[in-house]
Amino acid sequence: MSGQRAQHPVRLVIGFSPGSASDFIAGLLAPELSRRLGREVIVERHAGNNGAIGARRVAASDPDGTTLFMATLGTHALAPHFAPGLGYDPVKDFRAVCLLSRSPLVLACHPAIRAASVDELIAIGRSGAHRLTFASSAVGGAPHLAGELFKTMARIEMTHVPYARTEQLYEDLQKGRVALSFNNIMSMAPRLRQGILRGLAVTGSQRSPLLRELPAMAEAGLPGYEVTNWLGIVAPARTPVDTVHLLNAGIVAALRAEAIAERLSPAGIEPCGDTPEEFARHIEKELARWGPVIARIGILA
């Protein structure tokens, strides 16, 4: 980034509504990254189509380092397998900049569901005594995949209820209009502590330091189950390599700032800070991993 372009603000585009993990981390990152880059970083929200609207905007932007996208497991490893016509290729249309974070989801239900464990929930599902529904913020995101994978591995029937707005999802879940949800640990944790919802498990490979009382799904009765959400920054393809590395250095420094570190850990989020090359390999690995899973589950957009 040099010359006149170096004076332009950096736009960090997120594809999800307020209350999402993307929104939370973008809000923390922007001011710290602004200080490291010496230029304003503006968060822009272009929600819709499980992040695809924002992703398309960034893919079509000038590759000059002034427009970035917060990629997720959903936008860059899941949706490309089951949603033809996304309008972008997660590898060819972007250049990886930095993996920001990893975090599990939480499986939680409304207290009216008489299940205190994953085994009990599965028993309810198999008995047919209660019509199970699960809410997610969109078709094809990590929470949707988590629910479909659970349904398949547990051999039960559940109906997916997608929401356009996270706020509406939680309102309906808390009022019992939907039975359960797999959602980000940051927004679930306070609701579990207040007794509004009942937590059953986390979807990562091990327990979360934030909710140590909840077992990992494999520990709770579904061996081999694991869904870990991640967030990262990508730029349009053909963004110069030196620009990408400059951005990466700023992001890594920002992630190490006390103001960010002290907010991520209590939210159950693990900061990363991978190199561009490591993040590019991560995206390709995730694409390869989830393709066969999605084909087996049979998710359709």
Digit-coded pLDDT (tens) for 202-243: 999 999 989 999 999 999 989 999 999 999 999 999 999 999
Across the chain, mean pLDDT equals: 92
Task: Report the DSSP pairing between strands 10-14 and 41-45.
Answer: parallel
Query: Mean per-residue pLDDT for 116-134?
Result: 94
pLDDT band at 5 (very low <50, low <70, confident <90, very high): low
Residue 81's nearest CA partner among 248, 273, 297, 240 is: 297
Digit-coded pLDDT (tens) for 270-279: 999 999 999 9
Domains and CATH numbers, the chain: 3-103+228-297 (3.40.190.150), 104-220 (3.40.190.10)
| DSSP label of 49 | G
Distance CA 11, CA 157 (A): 42
Whole-number pLDDT of residue 192:
97
Distance CA 152, CA 298 (A): 10
- Give me 222's structure tokens: 């579904």
The residues that bridge with 232 in the sheet, in sequence order, are: 71, 99
